[in-house]
Amino acid sequence: MDVLRPPLININGRIYRKNMTKEEHYEEEEEFSCVGPSESEELAAEETCDAHFIEQTEKGYRCAIDVPSVLYKYIIGKKGETRRRLECDTKTSISIPKQGVEGQIVIAGSHKAAVSSAVTRVEVLVESFRKKQPFTHFLSFPLNDSKIQEGFLKFKDQVLQQCSQDRGVEGSIFQVPAKLHLTVGTLALLNEMEVRKACEHLHECQTFIRDITEGKPLPLEVTGIEYMNDDPAMVDVLYGKVNAKDGSDKLQAIADRLVEHFVSVGLMVREWDRVKLHGTVMNTLFRRDSAVEDTGAAGRQTMSERQAFDARNILKKFGAYCFGEFELKSVLLSQRYSTDCTGYYTSAGSINLS
């Protein structure tokens, strides 16, 4: 780690520096050194983040914070070591619901500054480990219009007829027609409350989206294919290029504004300056493992098991392929690994462009 550029964590609009420390294990509780709040911590209590209310009680101060149950274990630590260390460092008590039970973590102490310090440290832990959770939902522009699906199936048939002799090209690496989409951004929503919060924020975006589209569906065309790496002979992903029919950047503007909004409220992590809009048509992650298929288990490959394919002939013969035109009418918050009756990803929430 560059000590001059430490990793930063955004918690409720405030930026905290994450100090890298060596993990320590304590055999006996007596080895902890417990101290009360310092003068600087007393002053810091006056600047406690407005997102959490620290109430005064008969015994001191108390604050309740919402934390998804899947993250409790990171606050508890191995054999409770992390919680004991936090309690001793801040001279507070930290009550955590039972594993799997959604609720609030309650932090109590004699000093307001101590409770404030404990709240901040718990939030830093939560945000650090939240980033390590796999994404559960994603914002998308659906491309599964019947015209696009028909064009995609023709593309698949022609590629398999003309390029199936090329290394790695076979039917299982093609996208499912009903799942064709543009991914705007991914989210790790760890309980129902966070899903509801994401839906609320999606609805807040409807105002600026309608300003961009002038309250009308957005005519789009899916024409041409591109690949995502440097060598067309070793490709993992081929995608269809999607553009507004009028040549405007309205689609890009909507995608960028959506990401900007969800990053600002802490529900999404920014990966790029601009959203890379692409409709995946072939992906080696879809490749079926025949050995796994024989057992009846899911046959998806992991990143390390990918087998790239030779896309040179596909690009030569279908580089300008037209999948079709359609009108984009909605933005969806979709659930990963779950599909609805149409075959598309199950929707947790949606907004209309018009």
- The pLDDT score that the predictor gives to residue 28 is 37
Decide: 35 and 147 in contact? Cβ < 8 Å. Answer: no
Check whether 301 has a pLDDT greater than 80. no
**Are 303 and 228 contained in the same domain?**
yes
**Are 300 and 167 contained in the same domain?**
yes
**Bridge partners, residue 142, by sequence:** 181
- The pLDDT score that the predictor gives to residue 42 is 44
Check whether 96 has a pLDDT greater than 90. yes
Read off the pLDDT of residues 115-150 as tens digits, 9 standing for 90 and up.
999 999 999 999 889 888 999 999 999 999 999 999
**Are 141 and 174 contained in the same domain?**
yes
Residue 114 burial (CB count, 10 A): 26
303 within some domain: yes
327 within some domain: yes
Helix 81-90 with 112-130: angle, nearest 10 deg:
150
- The pLDDT score that the predictor gives to residue 22 is 45
Amino acid at 136: T
Please, is 296 exposed, middle or buried when counting C-beta atoms within 10 Å of its C-beta (0-12, 13-18, 19+)? exposed
pLDDT band at 18 (very low <50, low <70, confident <90, very high): low
Read off the pLDDT of residues 187-230 as tens digits, 9 standing for 90 and up.
999 999 999 999 999 999 999 999 999 999 999 999 999 998 88
- The pLDDT score that the predictor gives to residue 31 is 39
3 within some domain: no
2 within some domain: no
Decide: 180 and 144 in contact? Cβ < 8 Å. Answer: yes
The percentage of the chain sitting over the pLDDT mark of 70, rounded to a whole number, equals 81
Q: Give the range among 33-42, 109-118, 234-243, 322-331 with minimum mean pLDDT.
A: 33-42
- Measure the CA–CA gap between 338 and 354, rounded to whole angstroms: 27
Cα 339 to the chain's mean position, in Å?
A: 18
Q: E strands of the chain, at which residues?
A: 8-11, 14-17, 55-57, 60-67, 92-95, 103-109, 137-142, 181-187, 218-227, 237-244, 279-283, 322-328, 330-339, 345-352
246 within some domain: yes
**Are 198 and 265 contained in the same domain?**
yes
Angle among Cα 284, 288, 292 to the nearest 5 degrees reads 135
1 within some domain: no
Check whether 179 has a pLDDT greater than 60. yes
Of 115, 130, 145, which residue sits at a domain end? Answer: 130
CATH label of the domain that carries residue 95 = 3.30.1370.10
**Nearest 5°: phi and psi at 30?**
-65, -15
**Are 181 and 312 contained in the same domain?**
yes
**Are 17 and 94 contained in the same domain?**
yes
153 within some domain: yes
Instruction: Please report how many Cα atoms fall inside a 13 Å half-sphere around the Cα of residue 319, on the Cβ side.
Output: 8
**Are 126 and 141 contained in the same domain?**
no
**Are 50 and 161 contained in the same domain?**
no
Of 81, 104, 130, which residue sits at a domain end? Answer: 130
First to last CA, the chain: 48
Read off the pLDDT of residues 246-293 as tens digits, 9 standing for 90 and up.
999 999 999 999 999 999 998 998 888 899 988 999 999 998 754 333
Mean pLDDT of 75-92: 94
**Nearest 5°: phi and psi at 276?**
-85, 100
User: In which residue are the tokens 């309608």 written?
Assistant: 210
DSSP string across 330-345:
EEEEEEEEEE-TTSSE
**Are 233 and 345 contained in the same domain?**
yes
Which are the contacts of 297, defined by CB distance < 8 A and separation ≥ 6?
none
CATH label of the domain that carries residue 258 = 3.90.1140.10
- Measure the CA–CA gap between 74 and 129, rounded to whole angstroms: 7
**Are 113 and 260 contained in the same domain?**
no
Mean pLDDT of 60-81: 94
Mean pLDDT of 345-352: 95
Domain limits at 291?
137-352
**Bridge partners, residue 141, by sequence:** 182
163 within some domain: yes
Q: What is the pTM of this model?
A: 0.78
Check whether 52 has a pLDDT greater than 80. no
3-state secondary structure of 63: strand
Handedness of CA 122, 123, 129, 133 (dihedral sign): positive
3-state secondary structure of 172: helix
Q: Which two tokens stand for residue 334?
A: 């979709």
**Are 253 and 304 contained in the same domain?**
yes
Of 130, 148, 163, which residue sits at a domain end? Answer: 130
**Are 240 and 329 contained in the same domain?**
yes
Which are the contacts of 291, defined by CB distance < 8 A and separation ≥ 6?
none
Number of domains in the chain: 2
